[in-house]
Amino acid sequence: MIKETLTASSYSLGTLINLRVQGNEAQRAIEEALGRLSDIDDKMSAFKDTSEISKINLKAGRTSQIVGKDTYLVIKEAIKYSRLLEGAFDPTIRPLVSLWNIGTEQEEMPEECEVDNMLQLVNYKDVILDESNSSIRLRREKQALDLGGIAKGYAADEVRDIFYKYNISSALIDLGGNIFAFGGKEDGTPWRVGIQDPFKTRGEFMGVLSVTNKSVVTSGNYEKYFTKAGKRFHHIIDPKTGYPSISKIISATIISDNSIDGDGLSTGVYIIGIDKAMRLIESISGVEAIFITQDKKTYVTSGINNIFTITNKEFLGK
């Protein structure tokens, strides 16, 4: 029997979702995956009043909120990455994210004192997890969580697991550029995932990765930003300064087995600068990275030389 390939698009987790799935039960797998994505969005969105994240935020400084297994796990992983990245990744970034409002119609340059005020509220050490009853509490009033830097990775892993359950043979899971290459292509060859040219608009690539069963996640400054006085203010905020990160990195791609790791790491390493970022990723086994800096240089970790090709010569110099 010829297995059919189905495609589906929808909007969830604040982004465009594209699924391409081959398998006898592709239709059922897609339906379950889309349902799971909106379930994750309902629980983890900081924009929905009834989400578990909003409930935690509303109770900040007062009481704890019991959450489901999945929200608990994502927060726990977020804290793990906060520690690993010494606070460059921080899920309590929400007060600053809402002050800057980048990527929305309300985006504008905040006053320095406002930034300083919000900065006081950001500290992942104030997230108190209680495994015994699966509850989360924020230590101080007005503190708030934002899982925007990690939830899509978790969601991609969940879709992957659903696809396994339905014996899917080949799939491409694309959650707004957060890619999971499931299996190989329909013909059995590796998936070819394009790495966005960060100086161009969407869809123009600087290189291509050949992967099977891997997550490919990129954090960049080229999608959500505004420009003022020639400076680009993008959506990855440095929790040490309260301003959009100004490291030389303008694009950080992480290749890993699990997308939650790729998502958490890509947002965090973006901030810590190229030297630290290279050292950190080289030290984690099974995780590789591609970094592009403002001066158009490309840095790759040792494990991906064979699977990554730069297709735009302008990025070859180092």
Q: Is 267 in the site for ligand ADP (CB under 6 A)?
A: yes
Among residues 52, 77, 263, 288, the one that binds ligand ADP under rule CB under 6 A? 263
CB of 228 to ligand ADP, least distance (A): 18
Q: Which of residues 55-114 bind Mg ion (CB under 5 A)?
A: none
* Contact of residue 93 among ligand ADP, Mg ion, none (CB under 5-8 Å per partner type): ligand ADP
What are the CA-CA distances from residue 108 to residues 46, 54, 98, 103 (Å)? 20, 24, 11, 10
* Contact of residue 233 among ligand ADP, Mg ion, none (CB under 5-8 Å per partner type): none
Q: Is 236 in the site for ligand ADP (CB under 6 A)?
A: yes
Q: Is 218 annotated as a binding residue?
A: no
Q: Is 262 in the site for ligand ADP (CB under 6 A)?
A: no
Q: Is 267 annotated as a binding residue?
A: yes
Among residues 12, 22, 219, 221, the one that binds ligand ADP under rule CB under 6 A? 219
Tokens of 43: 């629980």
Nearer to Mg ion, 89 or 163 (CB): 89
Nearer to Mg ion, 154 or 163 (CB): 154
* Contact of residue 237 among Mg ion, ligand ADP, none (CB under 5-8 Å per partner type): ligand ADP
Among residues 52, 77, 263, 288, the one that binds Mg ion under rule CB under 5 A? 263
- How many Cβ atoms are within 10 Å of 169's Cβ, its own excluded? 17
Extract the annotated binding site for Mg(2+): 149, 263, 267
Q: Which residues bind ligand ADP (CB under 6 A)?
A: 89-91, 93, 97, 146, 148-149, 178, 219, 224, 235-237, 239, 263, 266-267, 271
Q: Which residues bind Mg ion (CB under 5 A)?
A: 149, 263, 266-267
